[in-house]
Amino acid sequence: MSAASAAAGVRGRDFRLLWFGETTSALGASVTGLALPLVALAVLDAGVVAVGVLEAVTWLPWLVIGLPAGAWVDRLSRRRVMIGCDVVSLVAFASVPVAAALGVLSLAQLVLVAAVAGTANVFFTAAYRALIPAVAGPEELVGANARLQGAESAARVAGPGLGGLLAQAFGAANALLADAVSFAVSLGCLLRMRVAEAPRRSEPSVPSGPRPALRREIGDGLRFVWGDQLLRSLAGFGALANLTLSASNVLIIAFLVHDVGASAGTAGLLLALGGVGGVLGAAAVPSLTRRLGTGRALVASMLAAPPAALLVPLAASGWPVVLFVLGELGLVAAVVAGNIVRAGFVQRYCPAGLLGRVTASQQVVNYGTIPIGAVVGGVLGAATGPRTALLVVFAAYLASNGLLAASPLRGLRELPTRAGNLSDGAGSIGDRADQRARDGRGGGRSGPRRARSRAARGRGRGARAGLHPGRRRHRQDPGDHPPHRLRRAQRCRARGPAAGRHLHRPRRR
């Protein structure tokens, strides 16, 4: 990152471009979240199973290519990866209204578009999270993530309503053009950015070698996450949280329609009101971190979300519907606030050369439970009804807070800013992996590292034997000897070289 960009931080030109582009892209993605299922249902007369397939195909790339995507992102320029992903997504979504106008649109094309867009999203997310520190600077990561997440939450509040209006006015297929236009805006912003990314493969003082194997680079990212108490705890909690929240997403519309008796328009309005919590949560993060510290703010947000969620299934027709709005407000605000603090922590904590792989490793664990949760929610809702299923799901969400009692998060006011501050030795894993990423070596002791190890062993043996560091058979300077040995050495030298040869033999212990 250039000095000017570092000084400007969140007020700099590059951050403003990133902020505007990604807010526009989030608005388009929210429109697609409503328009794509409508195309399947209204245009192609597909069933609910087809909608479920589209949802599963969108998230499946995280399980298939999430780990190698993180390694590839760490090898390449993050900004260029994001540019390529925007181009691919723009073409994919623009193909739907074109095919509909030509009369050749099919469900197979929708599935292909969902798969291609989901794959591009995997690479884009890994690169996007890794690029933020280079744009905003390490000191302003919390504020930068708060602005980005707050704008994204606001876009997701307005997106479904805008998507419904566009689908009603121009047709569901043509509504996807809004997402294509949003990718074009994001692409233009990225092309205008001039951020200088930090080098990841080598440093001027470290000799570069052959590029390590992709499998070894993926393993470095996994070992870094698994070997660190904080990252391991956050990944586990995120997986359980997404398992329960994805199940609730399947049930929430059926609950509003069947149990609360809300119409489609009223259900959309209630969800939009709940989505305002994301904006409130993002706005509250800077104040929370100043008052409580980053560690306590993260724990507080994680603890506050499940109790708020339990208000949702208590809603009913009439005034009790307020419980739904309050529950959704609290749940979304807590989740967004926690995500902001967590994202800033990971971006500061992880070495720059590993950030893409660490992000991808965590997202694979977190997003890998979403398809499972969706299936569990559907089966549970069919067996017990939406209200009872929501109570069970959110009770399980509350029980997942038990992980906090066993994690090192509970005793931290401030989250560490560098791996290795804890006593579990996790920092050594990160340091070794980061050194391999900088040196261009995949592992094993070779070259300068092996030479350094031999020198270290020589120093250790020399210190134990009373010898000169790095030389086993050479005494230290005479001034370092005790007085009686110094006098003896002087007498031997006066008698001749042969009399002092025993001084060159190491002392036996």
Q: Provide the CATH number for the domain around residue 309.
A: 1.20.1250.20
Contacts of 143 (CB under 8 A, 6+ apart): 9, 10, 136, 286
Q: Which residue has the tokens 């969140």?
A: 10
- 421 lies in a domain? yes
Q: Are residues 280 and 163 in the same domain?
A: no
pLDDT of residue 92: 92
Residues 425 and 303 in one domain: yes
pLDDT: is 396 or 2 the higher one? 396
Whether residues 321 and 409 share a domain: the answer is yes
Predicted pLDDT of residue 263: 72
Task: Examine the domain organization and report whether 270 and 408 are in the same domain.
Answer: yes
Helix axes 321-349, 107-136, angle to 10 degrees: 60
Greater model confidence, 23 or 479: 23
* pLDDT reported for residue 113: 92
Task: Lowest mean pLDDT of 105-119, 197-211, 230-244, name the range.
Answer: 197-211
pLDDT in the model for residue 452: 45
Mark whether 148 and 235 lie in a shared domain: no
Q: Which helix (H) or strand (E) holds 18?
A: helix 13-38
Q: What percent of the chain has pLDDT over 70?
A: 73
Per the domain annotation, does 509 fall within a domain?
no
* One domain, residues 354 and 318: yes
Number of helices followed by number of strands (H, E) in the chain: 19, 0
- Mean per-residue pLDDT, 65-70: 82
**pLDDT tier for residue 358 given thresholds of 50, 70 and 90:** confident
Q: Given a cut of 60, is residue 458 above it in pLDDT? A: no
The stretch 413-439 carries a mean pLDDT of 52
**Does residue 165 sit within a domain?**
yes
Least confidently predicted of 42-56, 89-103, 299-313, 468-482: 468-482
Least confident of 136-150, 180-194, 219-233: 136-150
Q: Which residue has the higher pLDDT, 480 or 127?
A: 127
Comparing CA positions, the residue from 472, 473, 503 lying closest to residue 487 is 503
DSSP bridge pairs for 467: 475
- Candidates 236, 241, 235, 234; CA nearest to 370 is 241
User: Looking at the DSSP assignment, which residues form a beta bridge with residue 258?
Assistant: none
* Residue owning tokens 């020198």: 455
Q: Is 456 part of any domain?
A: no
Query: What's the CA gap between 487 and 16, in Å, rounded?
Result: 75
Q: How many domains does the chain have?
A: 2
Residue 493 lies in a domain: no
* 284, 295, 414 from 290: Cα distances, Å: 10, 11, 10
Residue with tokens 């609950």: 255
Could you give the dihedral angle defined by the CA atoms of residues 206, 211, 213 and 216, in that order, rounded to the nearest 10 degrees? Answer: 20
- pLDDT at 347 exceeding the cut of 70: yes
Same domain, 133 and 251: no
> What is the predicted pLDDT for the residue at 11?
64
Q: Please check the confidence at residue 356 and state whether its pLDDT lies above 80.
A: no
- 336 exposure class (CB count in 10 Å sphere: 0-12, 13-18, 19+): buried
Contacts of 364 (CB under 8 A, 6+ apart): 62, 63, 66, 67
Window from 34-43, 109-118, 216-225, 435-444 with minimum mean pLDDT: 435-444
Structural domain ending residue among the three candidates 439, 457, 489: 439
In a domain, 427, yes or no: yes
Ranking 171-185, 258-272, 286-300 by mean pLDDT, the lowest is 258-272
Structure tokens at 396: 């399980």
pLDDT of residue 10: 61
pLDDT surpasses 90 at 52: no
| DSSP per position, 183-242 | HHHHHHHHHH----PPP-S--TTS---SPPPHHHHHHHHHHHHHT-HHHHHHHHHHHHHH
Domain boundary among the residues 199, 229, 249 is at: 199
Same domain, 187 and 59: yes
The reported pLDDT for the residue numbered 205 is 36
Enclosing domain of residue 405: 219-439
Q: pLDDT higher for 492 or 339? A: 339
Instruction: Examine the pLDDT at 208 and tell me if it is beyond 60.
Output: no
pLDDT at 9 over 60: no
Q: Which range, of 147-151, 465-469, 496-500, averages the lowest pLDDT?
A: 465-469
Split at pLDDT 50, 70, 90, the class of 236 is confident
Which distant-in-sequence residues (6+ apart) come within 8 Å of 507 by Cβ?
465, 466
Please say if the pLDDT value at position 505 is more than 70: no
Q: What mean pLDDT do residues 241-264 have?
A: 81
Q: What is the predicted pLDDT for the residue at 490?
A: 59
Same domain, 159 and 295: no
Clarify whether residues 364 and 264 are in a common domain.
Answer: yes
Q: What average pLDDT score do residues 12-25 get?
A: 86
Whether 214 is in a domain gets the answer no
Regarding whether 132 and 85 lie in a shared domain, the answer is: yes
| Average pLDDT value over all residues in the chain | 75
Last residue of a domain, one of 408, 423, 439: 439
Q: How far apart are CA 152 and CA 301, in angstroms?
A: 19
Say if 205 falls within a structural domain.
no
Cα(436)–Cα(1) distance, rounded to whole angstroms? 22
Local confidence band at 273 (pLDDT 50, 70, 90 cut-offs): confident
341 and 310 housed in the same domain: yes
Give pLDDT, residue 454.
43
- Which of 221-230, 397-406, 412-421 bottoms out in mean pLDDT, i.e. has the lowest? 412-421
- CA-CA-CA-CA torsion sign (181, 186, 191, 192): positive
Tell me phi and psi for residue 475, to 5 degrees.
Answer: -70, 160
